[in-house]
Amino acid sequence: MATSDSPVLVDTNVLVSATLVRAGNEDRILRAWRRGSFELVLSQEILEELGRALLYEKLRRYRWMSEQEVIRLLEFLASESLLVPGKLEVTASRDPEDDKFLAAALEGDARYVVSGGRDLLELKRYRNIHIIRPAAFVKLL
C-alpha cells in the first residue's frame, strides 16, 4: 500500500499523460500526490525534462490544462516534491535516457517507479524498487 511515507518516482511520460487525459490513471496519480497519498521523488533533470515536454507546442492543443495551470503545476512539483541531486550513476535500462529515473529513485529511497515506458517496465524491479504501470499503482493508492 502506498502511503504518505512511501516515496514514489513518477516518470515524465506519466506526468505528461496526466495533463492530457482528465480522470485517467495518470491524472488520478497526480491528484493522489497532491492529496498527500505519497511523497513524489524528482530530480532537477527530470523536472527540466518535464517542463520541456509539458510546453511542447504539439501537446498544447491536447492538454486539458491551460498554460498557466501547467506553469503552476511545475512550480508546485518543484516546491513540494522530494528533489534529489540526480547525480548517481546507474546503467540498468536498455534505454540510457531511463537511467535517470532509476538514479533519482535510489537517491530518494523510492519504493516504486511508476512508468509507461517499456524499457523500464521490462526491468520489473531494480534493487528494492518496484517498477509498475500507472494502473497497477492506482490500485495501491
Neighbours of 56 (CB within 10 A): 11
Q: Where are the domains of the chain?
A: 7-140
- Residue pLDDT, tens place only, 86-125: 887 876 777 778 889 999 999 999 999 999 999 999 999 9
Residues in Cβ contact with 132 at an 8 Å cutoff, skipping those fewer than 6 apart: 112, 113, 114, 115, 121
Task: Report the predicted TM-score, pTM, of the whole model to 2 decimal places.
Answer: 0.91
Architecture of domain 7-140: 3-Layer(aba) Sandwich (3.40)
Mean pLDDT across the stretch 25-39? 95
Cell of 32: 493522489
